[in-house]
Amino acid sequence: MSNAKHYLWLVGFSVLAFWQIGQIVYWPKPVQTLLLYAPYIAAALGIFISVFLNRIQPIFLLLTLAVLNFAIVYFFPKNTGQTDVLAVTAFYPLLATFLPLNLLLWILLPEKGVMSKPYVFSLLALFGLQGFGFYWLMDNLPMNVILTMAQPVGASGITLPMVPFLVTMAVWLVIVIRNAFQDHPKVLDNTVIFVLILMAYGLNQYASFGVLAWLSSIAAGLIILSLVFDSHQIAHTDQLTGMKGRRALFERFTGLGRKYAIAMMDIDHFKSFNDRYGHDIGDNALKLVAYQLSRIPLGYPYRYGGEEFTVVFPGKTAEQVKPILDDIRVQISEVPLEVMEKGQKAETKVTVSFGLAEKTERSQQPEAVMKLADEALYVAKKAGRNCVKVYGETAAKTTAKTSSTTRKRSQTKEDKA
């Protein structure tokens, strides 16, 4: 699933969350009561799934949401008085500032799983130290600093103080820019963008019954869903090129219709290329080829393994597909690749060969068609590489050539007779 598709469900659930805010007061009393516990239930479920999937980042994101809800409920009493004033002027601005900084912290720290005990304990210690640091700031911050942090934004409908508001906006911008510059951002990275929006609005409406709990529960749900999608993506995606891998290819095979074509592609002389320029340059060549293949119209490219790629064309014949592959082949051969040769920068190029086959009465299973495409690829390599060979055409030309040779020999014998 592409990032665009992930944004669709993230936006959809976020719209649902905001749409229901005004309806919370009309929910049945048992549902309202359950809502107050929902953030902790969702966090516990997410932590369980995170441990099962060996992911540490979501655990601390979910812990942050749970602790935030607990702090708001526990430290904001219902009665009026001096405690309320202290909470609003000091506790609330600090808490609202700590939230975005924590969300940023947990996604910036490397994902090392839950099996690395020293790493897990260090993160737990960091999480605990923040609690001590929070109370230290509450006791030691000068009153003028506290009052500055509590200054309102001054805009209608925004109760979030100025400092937390600016910090939230800055963190949101940092995460967006970071994700934009990543080649393959995780679904969780994009999810945190929406989590931050939901939680910022929840804190803005902390005094309204159930709003923070509702938005926290939705935010936790988004994190859980991102875990599922990330796990699927890791299992089906080649980490080097970002292209879907062999497992995804065979899943695609189950949904093909009555007409389709399959192409097998191989980078020419890739082993000698790797030996000459090194594996890093070889990886760059693979990325270059993968990028060009991703631009193929009407086709679905996959990295089959090593320097081999597969492209599936549902609803297409080999005749329709061959010109497309020829265009891509030419484009790949024209793109310069920067290399280091004898200590100096130089440019080189790579070429590719395609073997193409389509579904026939004799080969109706995708695996069989792919095998025919592989045979056509072998013919392309024997023909000098940097070309596209179609299985049916190759066989037809060979048969025609054999028949022509036979006819010539027969004619020669007749003439001699």
Host domain of residue 13: 3-236
Total tally of structural domains belonging to the chain: 2
Q: 344-348 and 352-358: which strand pairing?
A: unpaired
- What share of the chain has pLDDT > 90, as a percent? 65
- Alpha carbon distance 139, 121 (integer Å): 27
378 touches 387 (CB < 8 A): no
Which CATH number characterizes residue 328's domain?
A: 3.30.70.270
* Each residue's pLDDT tens digit, 79-136: 444 445 555 677 889 999 999 999 999 999 999 999 999 999 999 999 999 999 998 8
Work out the angle between the directed axes of helices 117-140 and 92-108 (0-180°, nearest 10): 160
Q: Which residues contact 389 (CB under 8 A, 6 or more apart)?
A: 353, 354, 355, 356, 376, 377, 379, 380, 383
Q: Are residues 144 and 285 in the same domain?
A: no
98 and 139 in one domain? yes
End of a domain among 205, 236, 267?
236
Tell me the per-residue pLDDT of 242-291, one tens digit each, with 9 for 90 and over: 899 999 999 899 878 889 999 999 999 999 999 888 889 999 999 999 99
Are 200 and 251 found together in one domain?
no
Instruction: Give the tokens for residue 107.
Output: 């996604």
Residues 25 and 159 grouped into a single domain = yes
pLDDT at position 319, please? 93
Domain end marker among 181, 208, 236: 236
User: For 205-298, where are the alpha helices, taking DSSP H only?
Assistant: 211-236, 246-253, 270-277, 279-294
Instruction: Give pLDDT, residue 84.
Output: 53
| 311 DSSP β-pair partners | 263, 301
What per-residue confidence (pLDDT) applies to 399?
43
Determine if the pTM surpasses 0.85.
Answer: no
Q: End of a domain among 191, 217, 236?
A: 236
In a domain, 414, yes or no: no
Position with higher pLDDT, 233 vs 262: 262
